[in-house]
Amino acid sequence: MADPQNPTTIDRKARIKIPYEAPPARPAAERVKDFRETFLPLTPERAMREAGRCLQCPMAPCVKACPAGNDIPGALRKIEQGDFLGAAKIYRRTSTMAQICGRVCPHEQLCQCACVRNKNHEPVLCGALEAFVADFERAQNPFHIQPGPSSGKRVAVVGSGPAGLACAEQLILQGHAVTVFESASAAGGMLTYGIPEFKLDQSIVDLLIEDLRHAGVEIRTGAAIGKSHPVDALLRDGYQAVFLGTGASIPTCMQVPGIDLPGVFPPDEFLARLNNDPAILPEGWRQPLTVGSRVAVIGGGDTASDCLRTAVRKGASQVTCLYRRTETEMPGGKKDRLLAAEEGAEYRFQIQPIRFLAGSDGRVSAIECLKCELGDCDAEGRRRPIPVDGSNFIVEADTVVCALGYGANPEIGRTTRGLAIDKNGLFQTDPLTGATSRPGIFAGGDAVSGPDLVVSAMAAGRRAAAAIDRFLHNADT
């Protein structure tokens, strides 16, 4: 008889016959009415059935495709047997935030893309299963992080996004005292201030932060490190090591006439003012943001899809994405694009905005654009957009979001002597350890890679924590 504990006895033919079922989602017409999550949780029966579709491939391509290296086949074997806590334990070995990654990872580009069953576009739903077991575990017990015996060492973590939180978790497990310094009013980084609730319920982020606090991690919000309190002051204050997880959250600005018109927003302000409690926003963002009826979002990444989907939920009747290239070159994930399109957003391609025009009330009312053709490939292999002279046309819009990407936060690079940064202001580190050019200072996440993913930032935070632990031990010898 096939023993699901032993992959060599797995009856693959029987497993192949278990039919694919699409992940359960709320209908578009229903979900556009609120900000609740798009995907529905799996039931225990459905989770066990879904896990039983895994072929337990010996080479486990899904594991190789996971930036955290989660043992997906191992966890799925446990789920199949109904041992959900056992599966959650397996995720915990490599992941600080399975509840979050199960929701926000672009699984269709990572583990599910690599799944051999994806050849027929019927991958095992690794993401939904990860979220299911992590939710199950959290419901049984909200607190999972057990601090190790005190090492007597103190570490400062700067930034409370996925990189900082994962680093803090791993350090407290080793018994080091951890203080997280966060410049914003609330912890979580982009988990709190970027990713909208229809992708990730904020209560899940709050529970992770609560778990860390409960384990003894001190999280100081409204505590910016930089000019008034530099990294070197942290070292003088008695922290023996510092981790920099400061992200890359400075929006790229369009240099076109009319960019300052009322009604034209950068994506961070647009998303934060529409998704967050005003109490945790900077003072200038606390008044309500009124979304017009015709919203244009410029850009082709995931942030653009999030802005489109937010605008739909705020009642805009015409929500349009304007992108310079074609859909093939779009950097954002297809899943989010399909969801946005299902919810009523329209994507228009090969369009370059060149000017924002004001209406009689002084607010933006239209965008002058040029059509684009595609030229040769750029350094990243994407074909260059070439605006066509004389192809000018107008797109009417009373709210515009320029979602063109994000750059590094410059404060720490500017205020820390001897810290190597690249031409984009990103920290230069050893990729295996996160060690920077300054002994005792480590970095990871978007602040090193540039804008990337939650899972990569988390994995970088964990790698750096392991290196910090070694650094602290070596300091003793």
Ligand X SMILES: Cc1cc2nc3c(=O)[nH]c(=O)nc-3n(C[C@H](O)[C@H](O)[C@H](O)COP(=O)(O)OP(=O)(O)OC[C@H]3O[C@@H](n4cnc5c(N)ncnc54)[C@H](O)[C@@H]3O)c2cc1C
Which residues are near ligand X by CB under 6 A? 104-105, 158-164, 181-184, 189-190, 194-195, 199, 224-226, 245-247, 249, 271, 302-303, 306, 409, 411-412, 445-447, 451-455, 457
| Residue number, 47 or 225, with CB nearest to ligand X | 225
| Residue number, 122 or 452, with CB nearest to ligand X | 452
Partner residues linked to 294 by β-bridges: 318
Entry field: residues in the chain: 477
Distances (CA, A) of 91 to 75, 116, 139, 166, 347: 7, 21, 16, 13, 37
Shortest Cβ 302–ligand X spacing (Å): 5
Shortest Cβ 187–ligand X spacing (Å): 7
Shortest Cβ 387–ligand X spacing (Å): 27
| Residue number, 90 or 412, with CB nearest to ligand X | 412
| Residue number, 28 or 224, with CB nearest to ligand X | 224
| Residue number, 147 or 189, with CB nearest to ligand X | 189
Shortest Cβ 186–ligand X spacing (Å): 9
Shortest Cβ 307–ligand X spacing (Å): 8
Shortest Cβ 159–ligand X spacing (Å): 3
| Residue number, 194 or 300, with CB nearest to ligand X | 194
Shortest Cβ 20–ligand X spacing (Å): 23
Q: Name the residue with tokens 């605006």.
A: 387
| Residue number, 80 or 197, with CB nearest to ligand X | 197
Shortest Cβ 6–ligand X spacing (Å): 34
Partner residues linked to 159 by β-bridges: none
Shortest Cβ 370–ligand X spacing (Å): 27
| Residue number, 52 or 444, with CB nearest to ligand X | 444
Partner residues linked to 366 by β-bridges: 357, 396
Shortest Cβ 72–ligand X spacing (Å): 17
Backbone angles phi, psi at 134, to 5 degrees: -70, -35
| Residue number, 48 or 242, with CB nearest to ligand X | 242
| Residue number, 60 or 244, with CB nearest to ligand X | 244
Centroid of chain to Cα 190: 7
| Residue number, 71 or 302, with CB nearest to ligand X | 302
Nearest C-alpha neighbor of 75 from the set 100, 48, 36 = 48
Nearest C-alpha neighbor of 87 from the set 101, 100, 71 = 71
| Residue number, 74 or 226, with CB nearest to ligand X | 226
Shortest Cβ 258–ligand X spacing (Å): 24
**What CA–CA distance (Å, rounded) separates 368 from 399?**
14
CB hemisphere CA count around 336 (13 angstroms): 26
Shortest Cβ 472–ligand X spacing (Å): 22
**What CA–CA distance (Å, rounded) separates 28 from 38?**
8
